A and B are shown apart, each in its own frame.
Chain A
Amino acid sequence: MNPASESVGTASANVPDATGRYGAFGGRYVPETLTRALDQLAVEYAKAKADPAFQAELDQLLQDFVGRPSPFYHAKRLSEKCGGAQIWLKREDVNHTGAHKINNTLGQALLTLRMGKQRVIAETGAGQHGVATATACAHFGIPCVVYMGEEDIRRQAPNVFSMKLLGAEVRPVTTGSRTLRDAINEAMRDWMSSVDTTHYILGSVVGPHPFPQIVRDFQSVIGSEARVQSLARFGRLPDSVVACVGGGSNAAGMFYPFIEDKEVELVGVEAGGRSDGAGDHASPLTFGSPGVLHGSYSYVMQDDDGQTCDVHSISAGLDYPGVGPEHSYWKDTGRVRYTDCKDNAALDAFDALASCEGILPALESSHAIAAGMKVAAEKSSDQIVVICLSGRGDKDAAEIARLKEERK
Chain B
Amino acid sequence: MSSIDQVFADLRAQNRKAFIPFVTAGDPSLDVTSAALKELSKRGGSVCELGIPYSDPIADGPVIQASYTRALQRKIKLSQILEMAGKTTPEMSAPLVTMVSYAIIHRHGTEQYIQDAKAAGIAGAIVPDLLVEESGDFAKICQANDFSLIQLVTPTTSRERAMRIAETSTGFIYYVSVAGITGERTQLPPDLLDNVSWLRSQTKVPICIGFGISQPEHVRTLKKVADGVIVGSAIVRRMGEIGEKSEEQVIDEIGDYAETLIEALNE
* Residues of chain A at the chain B interface (Cβ within 8 Å): 1, 19, 27-37, 175-176, 181, 185, 188-189, 192-193, 195-196, 291-295, 297, 302, 304-308
- B55-63, B115-123, B226-234 - interface stretch: B55-63
Q: Is the CB of B103 within 8 A of A37?
A: no
Task: Collect the chain A residues with CB atoms within 8 Å of residue B56's CB.
Answer: 176, 181, 185, 293-294, 308
A-B contact list, 30 entries, CB within 8 Å = A1-B137, A28-B131, A28-B133, A28-B134, A30-B131, A31-B154, A32-B153, A32-B156, A32-B176, A35-B131, A37-B156, A185-B57, A185-B58, A188-B58, A189-B61, A192-B59, A192-B179, A193-B180, A193-B181, A195-B156, A196-B156, A291-B107, A292-B103, A292-B106, A294-B56, A305-B78, A305-B107, A306-B101, A306-B105, A308-B56
Partner among B65, B104, B134, B178 whose Cβ is within 8 Å of the Cβ of A306: B104
Task: Collect the chain A residues with CB atoms within 8 Å of residue B134's CB.
Answer: 27-29
Q: Does B157 contact A (CB under 8 A)?
A: yes
Given A176-B55, A181-B56, also A32-B154 (CB < 8 A):
yes
Q: Is the CB of A307 within 8 A of B54?
A: yes
- In the bound assembly, the distance between CA atoms of A406 and B225 in angstroms comes to 64
- In the bound assembly, the distance between CA atoms of A302 and B105 in angstroms comes to 13
Q: Is the CB of A192 within 8 A of B58?
A: yes
Q: Is the CB of A31 within 8 A of B77?
A: no
Identify which of B104, B107, B108 gathers the most chain A CB atoms within 10 Å of its CB.
B107
Band of interface residues on B: 35 or more
Q: Is the CB of B106 within 8 A of A306?
A: yes
Given A19-B133, A195-B179, A305-B107, also A36-B58 (CB < 8 A):
no
- In the bound assembly, the distance between CA atoms of A121 and B129 in angstroms comes to 21
Task: Collect the chain B residues with CB atoms within 8 Å of residue A305's CB.
Answer: 77-78, 104, 107-108
Q: Does B87 contact A (CB under 8 A)?
A: no
Task: Collect the chain A residues with CB atoms within 8 Å of residue B61's CB.
Answer: 189
- In the bound assembly, the distance between CA atoms of A28 and B152 in angstroms comes to 15
Q: How far is the CB of A350 from chain B (nearest CB, A)?
A: 31
Task: Collect the chain A residues with CB atoms within 8 Å of residue B74's CB.
Answer: none
Given A31-B129, A196-B179, A305-B77, also A292-B102 (CB < 8 A):
yes
Q: Is the CB of B107 within 8 A of A302?
A: yes
For the complex of A and B, 3 pairs with smallest distance between CB atoms? A306-B107, A193-B180, A292-B103
- In the bound assembly, the distance between CA atoms of A195 and B129 in angstroms comes to 17
Tell me the dominant secondary structure on chain B's binding face. Answer: loop
Q: Is the CB of A29 within 8 A of B154?
A: no
Q: Does B130 contact A (CB under 8 A)?
A: yes
Q: Is the CB of B72 within 8 A of A307?
A: yes
Q: Is the CB of B161 within 8 A of A31?
A: no
Q: A33-B154, A196-B179, A291-B106 are in contact. List 10 more A-B contacts (CB 8 A).
A: A29-B131, A31-B59, A32-B156, A32-B165, A33-B155, A33-B176, A36-B157, A175-B69, A196-B156, A295-B129
Q: Does B186 contact A (CB under 8 A)?
A: no
Q: Is the CB of A192 within 8 A of B180?
A: yes
Task: Collect the chain A residues with CB atoms within 8 Å of residue B86's CB.
Answer: none
Task: Collect the chain B residues with CB atoms within 8 Å of residue A291's CB.
Answer: 103, 106-107
Q: How far is the CB of B161 from chain A (nearest CB, A)?
A: 7
Task: Collect the chain A residues with CB atoms within 8 Å of residue B107's CB.
Answer: 291, 302, 304-306
Task: Collect the chain A residues with CB atoms within 8 Å of residue B187's CB.
Answer: none
- In the bound assembly, the distance between CA atoms of A189 and B62 in angstroms comes to 10
- In the bound assembly, the distance between CA atoms of A1 and B65 in angstroms comes to 31
Q: Does B15 contact A (CB under 8 A)?
A: no
- In the bound assembly, the distance between CA atoms of A35 and B181 in angstroms comes to 14
B residues 147-165 touching A (CB-CB < 8 Å): 151-158, 161, 165
- In the bound assembly, the distance between CA atoms of A212 and B198 in angstroms comes to 36
- In the bound assembly, the distance between CA atoms of A185 and B153 in angstroms comes to 21
Task: Collect the chain B residues with CB atoms within 8 Å of residue A181's CB.
Answer: 56
Partner among A19, A27, A185, A193 whose Cβ is within 8 Å of the Cβ of B179: A193
Partner among B78, B137, B151, B179 whose Cβ is within 8 Å of the Cβ of A33: B179
- In the bound assembly, the distance between CA atoms of A307 and B72 in angstroms comes to 9
- In the bound assembly, the distance between CA atoms of A211 and B180 in angstroms comes to 20
Q: Does B128 contact A (CB under 8 A)?
A: yes
Identify which of B101, B154, B179, B181 gathers the most chain A CB atoms within 10 Å of its CB.
B179
- In the bound assembly, the distance between CA atoms of A302 and B54 in angstroms comes to 11
Task: Collect the chain B residues with CB atoms within 8 Å of residue A293's CB.
Answer: 56, 103
- In the bound assembly, the distance between CA atoms of A188 and B59 in angstroms comes to 8
- In the bound assembly, the distance between CA atoms of A119 and B179 in angstroms comes to 17
Identify which of A37, A189, A294 gathers the most chain B CB atoms within 10 Å of its CB.
A189
Identify which of A1, A31, A193 gathers the most chain B CB atoms within 10 Å of its CB.
A31
Q: How far is the CB of B131 from chain A (nearest CB, A)?
A: 6
